[in-house]
């Protein structure tokens, strides 16, 4: 099953993708995670995109499409995948259409206010990528990762100015994909304001 998870930043795509990945045994391919891994490992690509990610702007299509093409050619993606955070522009969607057939585009529907609350409280463990929320999913000890004991950080792009920019970028560049995939008959709407368990239940029903 080839899935796209579409929706604004903070809609919970990554959380649900982690659940679907385990349940359906298909890889979770997050372009944001791939970029962050490159930045952490100080690769050439990482150096190219570091500033762009911190600002919340989009990495140029050419770079992003090449990275996804490479990732989808790996053998674990042969029997399906969850693309989380890709495509984000019409040009990326057109490129994906020439690489692979998509079965469903899951559209995470959520209000801007809810997103702001979620993202501004998000904290991550830098080495493992494990995420918390200061209100909804706090660590056992404030500011510390439950398993590694490392201090939690706030992603640069989860700071308020970058969040507002990311939401504007989403509205301008990515939201047009909702119509694009609706016209292709691939779109499924999910109410992303619910809990992860409820969202996963709704997901299973619609793709049955």
Active-site residue, 166 included: yes
Q: Which is nearer to ligand AMP, 93 or 187 (CB)?
A: 93
**CA distance readout (Å), 70 to 4, 10, 179:** 17, 26, 27
Please, what is the minimum distance in Å from the beta carbon of residue 95 to ligand AMP?
Answer: 10
Q: Which is nearer to ligand AMP, 27 or 32 (CB)?
A: 32
Which residue, chain included where needed, has tokens 């790996």?
74
Q: Which is nearer to ligand AMP, 128 or 204 (CB)?
A: 128
φ, ψ of residue 192 in degrees (nearest 5): -85, 5
Burial of residue 194 (CB within 10 Å: 0-12, 13-18, 19+) is: middle
Please, what is the minimum distance in Å from the beta carbon of residue 84 to ligand AMP?
Answer: 7
Please, what is the minimum distance in Å from the beta carbon of residue 141 to ligand AMP?
Answer: 26
Active-site residue, 13 included: yes
Burial 143-177 (b: 16+ CB within 10 A, else e): ebbeeeeeebeebebbeeebbeebbebbeebbeeb
Active-site residue, 88 included: yes
Residues forming a β-bridge with 170: none
Candidate list 36, 71, 88, 123, residue with the active-site label: 88
Output the residue with the shortest Cβ distance to ligand AMP. Answer: 32
Candidate list 36, 118, 122, 123, residue with the active-site label: 122
Interface contacts to ligand AMP, rule CB under 6 A? 9, 31-32, 35, 52-53, 56-59, 64, 85-88, 92, 157, 166
Active site residues: 13, 88, 122, 155, 166
């Amino acid at each position: 099953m080839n899935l796209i998870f579409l929706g604004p930043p903070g809609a919970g795509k990554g959380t649900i993708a982690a659940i679907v990945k385990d349940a359906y045994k298909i890889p979770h391919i997050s372009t944001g995670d791939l970029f962050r891994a490159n930045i952490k490992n100080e690769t050439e690509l990482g150096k190219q995109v570091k500033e762009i990610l911190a600002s919340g702007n989009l990495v140029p299509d050419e770079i992003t499409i090449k990275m996804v093409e490479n990732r989808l050619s790996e053998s674990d993606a042969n029997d399906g995948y969850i693309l989380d955070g890709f495509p984000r522009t019409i040009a990326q969607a057109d490129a994906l259409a020439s690489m692979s057939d998509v079965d469903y585009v899951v559209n995470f529907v959520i209000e801007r206010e809810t997103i702001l609350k979620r993202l501004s409280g998000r904290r991550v463990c830098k080495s493992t990528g494990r995420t918390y929320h200061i209100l909804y999913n706090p660590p056992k000890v404030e500011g510390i990762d439950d398993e590694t004991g490392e201090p939690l950080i706030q992603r640069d792009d989860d700071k308020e100015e970058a969040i507002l920019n990311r939401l504007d970028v989403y509205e301008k560049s990515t939201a047009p994909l909702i119509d694009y995939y609706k016209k292709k008959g691939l779109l499924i709407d999910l109410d992303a304001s619910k809990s992860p368990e409820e969202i996963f239940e709704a997901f299973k029903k619609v793709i049955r």
